[in-house]
Structure 1
Amino acid sequence: MELSAVQGDITEQHVDALVNAASPEMRGGGGVDGAIHRVGGPAVLEDCVRRFPHGLATGDAGWTTAGDLPARWVIHVVGPNRRAGQTDRSLLTSCYSRALGVADELGARTVAFPLVGAGIYGWPKDDAIAAAVETLRATETGVTEARIVAFDGPTYDAVVAALR
């Protein structure tokens, strides 16, 4: 699998599947979650409500339509909320491995990932990057291209450095 870094907006990535750092309720939120729901339109939320009436567990993944996004699917993952005391790193790495598993089930070959947990959930950015890179490299998958999408320059530079 080709693993790369991209600086930009995840909602503008032309891939088979976008990964969303979702809230456990699966009803939209802030950060990446809010952006994906805004750009994807009401179809994303409607599919979340239908597929996940009771939400999704931390560390797990599931998919919905991508609505108006330039992708076919959104793969939703729920990262650990470090600010709420969820400090088990395996919950964070599970988001990446489970997302690849869902991508394989869907037949998705190109997938764009945010840095799960590194925003309002408070996971230290350097470890969030390390967890993403380590897990994406170590997980067996049919995905041929995975992009880690960094919104800002310093984060992009840190992801590029981790990929070296």
Structure 2
Amino acid sequence: MKKVFVLKCTQKLLKDMKVPPSEIHITSPLSSWHVNMYKLRNRKLIIFVNDYSRLCLIISGIRSAQPAKLFETFRTELRSYMLAEEIEEHVVNTYLSSADEIWITKTDSRSVLGTMNEMMIYTEVSYNKSETNEERLRWLNRSIYSPIDYKEPIHVFKEALQQAYS
């Protein structure tokens, strides 16, 4: 069985990317991400939320109509953020190289979408401050959410990575 990252995109993003969704029925929640696009202060932002941990990653300055560049930027930004969060480099490398390819499909979890919407609201509030994207992500990923038993996404993600890749 192939190991893949699955990006579960909203209808709006699928339409903008002009990519047909694949039919996927079984995925690993740790390698599955819900993805949406939204505008904030005339900037197009793309938000990724991990299905298992609710870890959030926000990318700006990329066109969704360039899927290949979007995927590469996602991997690069995720790697950078994971290292900034002091996740061991060998764990980061193993996680990112564990997927042979990236598949695109439709969203399938109202729970993840609800958390994503909360994060988008928090991002709008925090965007008024002069924070860097990394600072904003640290704040978002240390907020507690009920779908993960009121834990912080970064801690849930780190624990899952340690169990899976150490």
Q: Provide TM-score, normalisation by structure 2.
A: 0.30
Q: Tell me which protein shows more helix as a share of its residues.
A: 2
- Larger gyration radius, structure 1 or structure 2: 2
Q: Provide TM-score, normalisation by structure 1.
A: 0.30
